[in-house]
Each structure stands twice: as C-alpha cells, then as structure tokens.
A and B are shown apart, each in its own frame.
Chain A
Amino acid sequence: MTSTRIRSLVALGAALAVALLPLGSGPAAQGKTIKIATQSPLSGGQAALGEGIKLGTQLAIEKFKVNLEKAGFKVELVPYDDQAKPDVGVSNAKNIIADKAIMVVIGHLNSGVAIPSSEVYKEDNLPMISPANTNEKVTDRGYPNVNRVCGRDDVQGPVGAEFAAGTLKVKTAYVLHDKTTYGQGVAEAFKNDLEKKGVKIVGFEGTEEKSNFDPIVTPIKAKNPELVYFGGIYDQAAPFFKQAKEKGVKAKFLGPDGLDSSDFVKIGGKAVVGTYYTTAAAPASSAQAKQFGEEYKKKFGKNPEPYAAESYVATAIAIKALEEVTKGGKAPTREALGSAIRKVKYNGMTGSIEFDDKGDPKKASYYVMQVTTDNPEKWSENKEAKRLAIAAPAMKK
C-alpha cells in the first residue's frame, strides 16, 4: 500500500513541478542585469551580523547604482544565507558562479566559510570583496579575485597593543577571546605585541560562554590587572564587561572593532562607558559616517551592525569598478571586474582604500575610540582617543 502511495506522490510531485516549470527557470536573458550577491549567515546565532552585511550592501547598491542604470544596466541584490556553515557556503558559491549575471560577491562573515567558498569563486574568476574576514589566510593565498576592506588580525592587534602600552601605559593586562577565528586571531596578535612592549600578561584564555561570565571574572578580580582586553563581538563583550564591572573589576576595558555597535552600550549600560575599541571605520562624527548612520537608520529602522559600514564600502568599491568596466555600455566580465577592483582608489568612511597585490588594503588607518555615554542613540558621539596608520605585512613567501 505504501509503495503505491509513494508512486502516486512522485507522480503528483512531477505534475506539480511541470506546472511550475516556467516560474523557476529564471530570466534567461542576462546581458543587461548586473547582480551583486551577498553571502553571510542570515539565520542562526550569527544572523544579526550576517544581516548587517546584507543591509550595508543593499544600502550601497541603492545609493550608487545611478550611473550604472544610466548606462542601461539593472542592478540587483541577491542575498544568500550561508548559515555560517562551510558546506552550505560552498554549495551556494557553486550556485553563484553558475549565475552569469552575478558579477561580484560581498561576504562572508566567517573566515571558515570564506576560504573554501573563495576557492570556488576562483574557478570562474568571480571577484569577492570581504567586509569582515580578518584571517591572514584569506588574502595570503594571493588569489587575484579575493579582496578585503577590513583590517587583518595582525594589524588590528598591534594597534590595540600600541595604544595600551604607549598611551594608556598599563603595566599588566588580561586577555580573553571568544574562540572564533576572528576573536582569537586578534587577541593573540594583541597579546604577542603587548608582551614585546614589556607589558605583563596575567592571563590569556578563550571562552564560548555567552551569558554567565562569573567563573571567568572571579580570577580576574583577584589578579587585578590594569587592562582587560576582549577579542570578540559586542554581544559577548558587553555582558562580560558588565559582569566584570559589577563584580568590582577596576581595570580599563579594550576591544577590537567587533565592539563597534550601539548595541554595545545598550547591553552594557553604564558599566561599559569608558571602554576603548579599535576600529577602521572613521569616527561616526565624520560627515560620511554620520550620513551613512542616518540613512541606514532611516531605511532599516535600526543602527548599523559592526560590519555594515565595511559592506557598504566594499559594495561602493565594486560599483565604482563596475562603472569602469561597463564604460560605453560594454557588458562586464568577471575577469575584467576583478582587475578593475584592484585598481580602484576609494575614499570613504573607512579611510582611503587601495588594494595591494594580494587584496589587502595598502594602508589601514585605525582609530582608537572611547565610549562616552550609555545612550545608544549617541553612539556616534564616541570620542577619538588616538589615530594610527599601519601597512599590511607583505606576502610571506
């Protein structure tokens, strides 16, 4: 009986599929449509950050597509959910390279997904601009199609160390990270550089904990360091700093650009006022950044997540390069776009960006910012404590 039912189900499914056939076949004509894809986690625990990447891209497309439209192209966004899983990312990547209208990918959030997926993009020279992958290996493979607008771990970490040792002049520091590629990478770079500068590291640990930091705070309080560094994202950093402060830890707090979100003070409240963070995004008080923040809020009804600005910049660069390769109404090719992206000189809210021969920004300017108020609406008023510019290390051979 059951096999009959399966048979009839299969037949029914087939009939349904045939009926729906025209729907799924998609637009056969491509030439005049340029698609920009994003790949980032849109579901699961990291969805908030992943959505920031998508929204930043969306905003940039709407803002900068005018010239391309004048040239007769339709510009569309195609968001993909990579679920923060490498196997899903790779399968999406295959789907993306099969869609010849997709000219560039903005993504990913996780280096663990970005590296295997970019192997696929490379098969068809599809350019990728990463807003968030700080792992050295993303660009150190020297692929011509892989770029990133964000800083590397081995750049941002030393910036923090320079600030801690040079400006804050701390003698002891405790370093915690979130056990992700990003958090651990930047925390290790920070720690190593700080040790070289003669600061004593009283503890270096990782944790995947998201809610209860009591058992970690207790030894910190007993060791009483002058500085606590957290390598990770605001949704973990803020509860950690808050609980540390409430338990009586008196140290100064410092973190990387994962803290750069108004949600940081929304979660941490008064306890995290005074926290320092390093970021490549210019102070939100600067004209461009302010405008971005306002437009983002107006369009999506919330403040930008940490990598939204970088995605916006990455998309702007891609569109600038697209304008270059479509001059005279020419249909763009992925290969031409890839080399055009390497030639773009872009000046935006994350400073001037120009890619070197492996796709890193030639010179990253970093800002050390200090949280000034516990009002999330006034996140943009955080004050600049220091400005540093460091070049990415050359390719190791």
Chain B
Amino acid sequence: MDFELLVRIFPQVLLDGLLLGFMYALIALGYTMVYGVLEFINFAHSEIFIVGAFVGVELLLGLKSRGVLDTAPWPLVLLGVMLAGMLASGALAVTIERVAYRPLRAAPRLIPLISAIGMSFFLQDVIRLTESLWRNAFNLVYPTLEPLNERFELTSTLDVSAKSLVVIVAALLMLWGLHALVNRTKIGTAIRAVAEDQAAASLMGIDVNRIISLTFLIGGAMGGAAGVLFGVQYGLINPYTGFIPGLKAFTAAVLGGIGNIPGAMLGGIVLGLLEAFAASYMSLLTGGAFGAEYKDIFAFSVLILILIFRPKGLLGEVVRERA
C-alpha cells in the first residue's frame, strides 16, 4: 500500500467528491420538493432532468451554428440557457402532474408510483424519437464554453475547473433560494400548509391544486437547471443518461431525509464523497483486489447502515408519522 500516494491525492479526492455531491444535491432538490408536499416519489424526475439538459444543448448548438457562442459573454449565455432549461422542465413537470398524477391523488401511494414509472419509460423514448428525427443522433455533445474549461491549480496536487466552481455556486444559490422561498414567503407558507394537511389547507382558502402545480413547477425547474449544469460539466448526454443520476439523487434525497431541503443537500454531499473515496481508494487500499467497480456497493452499504441507525435519514424528523 502506497501510503504517501494516499495522502497526496486526498485533497483532490475530497474536492471531486464534493463536486459530485453538489451535482447529486441539485437533482435531489426536485425529488425532495415533490416528496415533501405529496409524499410521492416522482420517478419521472430523471426524465424531467434530462429534458432540461436536451433543451440546453439544443440552444447552445443553435447559438454555435450562428457563431454567437464564442463572442457572447459566457455568464449571460449560461444563465439564458439555464433559464430556458428550467422553463421547459418546469412546464413538463406541471404537465405530467396534471395528466398522470392528479387523477390518482386519492389512490394508494403505490399507484401513482407505477404511473410515474410508465411516464419515465414513455418520456425516454419520446426524447429519443424527437432527437432522432431532429438531429438523427443518439448521443449529443455539449459545445464547450471555452472560459469554463479553464483549470485553476490551487496547489501542486489540487486543481479545479471553472465549470466545477459554477456548479458549486449554482447549487448553493439554488439551495438558498429554495429554502428562502419555502420558509420566508407567502407561497412557501402555503406549500408547507398543503404538505401538512391538504384538507385543512383548502379550508383556509388555499387552492391546493394550484399549490401542487406550483410545487411541480419549482421542482421541475430545479431539475432543468441541474440538467443544463450536468451537460456543461460532463459534456455528453443521451435520452437514457438521466436514469442513473436520477436514481443516485433519489438515494441522496432519502439519505438526507426525504422532503427536507437541507437534507437533500447533505445527502447529496455524503453520497458524492462516499462514491469518490470508494472509487479512488478502493484499489489502493486493497492492493488491487477490489477496485472502483465496488463504489456503488460501498455507497449503498453505507446508506443502508446510516438508515438503520437513522431510519428517517440524516436530517429527517423522527416524530411525525402519517396513518
């Protein structure tokens, strides 16, 4: 075992893990938002997320073919593309809720789950159909925004790229914004009221349907923003790309205590760190007997352990139980 090597790469692995964690956290916000209000796993969130990424890449490719991409200031381009992605994903989320979930609101909780799974299959292939007709392509590549590819060498063993910093900043901003929205505004109060008791909320004059649509809009928009940032960060998307990150983000949301916004952030970071350390260190620590292929086992095992000792997740409330 090369101890010196272990120590030398430690800061970089820590940073890699944080980055991945913020990415998971961004996607997890959408799951947690919807879950917090309806206690329902929106399985189609991974497709909502990837639709944002597709809208983003289409816009960037459009800008590139017009030659605007390299001349326009990148923060403006990125912001515009993100907004478009958010809008598309938000609208999609609201539509899905209206069509596939609302008729099932009174049904047992597993019924909308299956509806969501069906929606997820359906959307994956709708995206594929659209893209294959439009571009005749399966894999789409994000055009690079040159300034974002720059790398900063912090120390001789630690460096970070500009786009990673953008992801971290965006994640923090979105978390803060969401937290403020839910806790400090009138809409937020209404959302919390609906989450607590739909019947009572409607008696207090809250339009429950509108609030639920709004929740999906916000959750979907978060997913869309995450999609664009995912594309910018990793560069390659296809219609099925959303599935695995979606699953991981869902795991992160549960790990942190589903329905809890800071919990999603914390869960994402914990999961990201676990994965990064497992992938980087497993082979070094075991002398090559086990390798990066065990990272998911490691991450899921720790998840199971954490949930055994904290059955409601890291930040979940321990008391409230619904009949």
* A→B interface (CB under 8 Å): 43-45, 47-48, 51, 176, 179, 203-212, 214-216, 218-219, 222-223, 235, 238-239, 242, 246-248, 263, 266-267, 269, 300-302
Partner of A215, one of B139, B159, B244, B292: B292
Contact of B138 with A205 in the complex, beta carbons under 8 Å: no
Binds A, one of B203-211, B216-224, B272-280: B272-280
Cβ of A293 to closest chain B Cβ, rounded Å: 16
Residues of chain B contacted by A301 (CB below 8 angstroms): 136
Residues of chain B contacted by A44 (CB below 8 angstroms): 240
* B→A interface (CB under 8 Å): 5, 8-9, 12-13, 16-17, 19-20, 23, 125, 128, 136-139, 141, 144, 149, 151, 157, 159, 161, 230, 234-236, 238, 240-241, 243-245, 275-281, 283-284, 288, 291-293, 295-296
Closest residue on chain B to residue A48 by CB atoms = B138
Cβ of A268 to closest chain B Cβ, rounded Å: 9
Contact of B136 with A203 in the complex, beta carbons under 8 Å: no
A-B contact count (CB 8 A): 107
Cα A267 to Cα B280 in complex, Å, equals 24
Contact of B234 with A211 in the complex, beta carbons under 8 Å: yes
Closest residue on chain A to residue B23 by CB atoms = A212
Cα A215 to Cα B20 in complex, Å, equals 9
Cα A44 to Cα B239 in complex, Å, equals 9
A-B pairs with the 7 shortest C-beta distances? A205-B291, A215-B279, A206-B293, A48-B138, A214-B16, A211-B234, A215-B276
Cβ of A149 to closest chain B Cβ, rounded Å: 24
Given contacts A47-B138, A212-B234, A242-B235, A206 and B149 within 8 Å (CB-CB): no
Contact of B139 with A235 in the complex, beta carbons under 8 Å: yes
**Residue among B151, B279, B295 with the highest chain A CB neighbour number at 10 A:** B279
Cα A203 to Cα B23 in complex, Å, equals 28
Cα A248 to Cα B153 in complex, Å, equals 11
Given contacts A205-B293, A247-B159, A267-B235, A215 and B138 within 8 Å (CB-CB): no
Cα A345 to Cα B1 in complex, Å, equals 54
Cα A204 to Cα B245 in complex, Å, equals 25
Cβ of A248 to closest chain B Cβ, rounded Å: 7
Cβ of B135 to closest chain A Cβ, rounded Å: 9
Contact of A235 with B276 in the complex, beta carbons under 8 Å: no
Contact of A218 with B236 in the complex, beta carbons under 8 Å: no
Contact of B241 with A216 in the complex, beta carbons under 8 Å: no
Cα A303 to Cα B272 in complex, Å, equals 36
